[in-house]
Structure 1
Amino acid sequence: MQDEYATDLSDYLSQHHEELNAYLSGLFGSRGFAQEITQDLLFYLWNSPVQVSGGNPMAQLLSMANRLGQYRRRQARVRGGTPLSVRHDLSQLPIRDIRGETHA
């Protein structure tokens, strides 16, 4: 018998993604990185549903998002790079044509 008071975390995250983004932006210091974490967590929850019976669903989401963000940061350090949020600022990259010449 399924608990009638269970909360589907993907639905909850869909309704409260702005609050999670604000928290993660402050935690990690990057709005782009926070949005990546939120979107990746939502994708995960859509594909692997998690039901929370009782308790605080926001606390569960904050915990999951924090662990995912910390994991991403560790992976970037291990690989010698930066967190994935850097890919959002592609406007700063030079444009190269087929001959390899750089254009503004």
Structure 2
Amino acid sequence: MSERDTVWLFTRFGLGEGPAELQQQLAVKYLTLALEGGKLPAKVIFYTEGVRLACHGSPVLDQLRELEKRGIELVLCHTCLSYFGLLDQVQVGVVGSMADIIEALTQAPKVVAL
């Protein structure tokens, strides 16, 4: 199994359970190092607070744009974006349905929750 068989799942506006600023710093570091090392997934899924990472003002927009340039599909939960009033703030990725998310997660040999 290669990294390209993997789906990354972001459910927070950052990584971990620490203070918000630390969580966002960790997300920047993780994505930057993954891009530098070439250990990239097939898809990245964003739901709940995770959708904020793909919206205006996110600290990881440059990294997410680079993932897209490299052919990585970014899928954002429509329901979550709507709930948070962020549908017009999306900067990267495609807005998908829960059916799209279920398909991605169940088809992936490996899911990494971040």
Same fold flag (TM > 0.5): no
Higher relative contact order (CA 8 A, sep 6+): 2
Work out which of the two has the higher radius of gyration on C-alpha atoms and give 1 or 2. 1
More strand per residue: 1 or 2? 2
Q: TM-score, normalised by structure 2?
A: 0.24
Q: TM-score, normalised by structure 1?
A: 0.26
More helix per residue: 1 or 2? 1
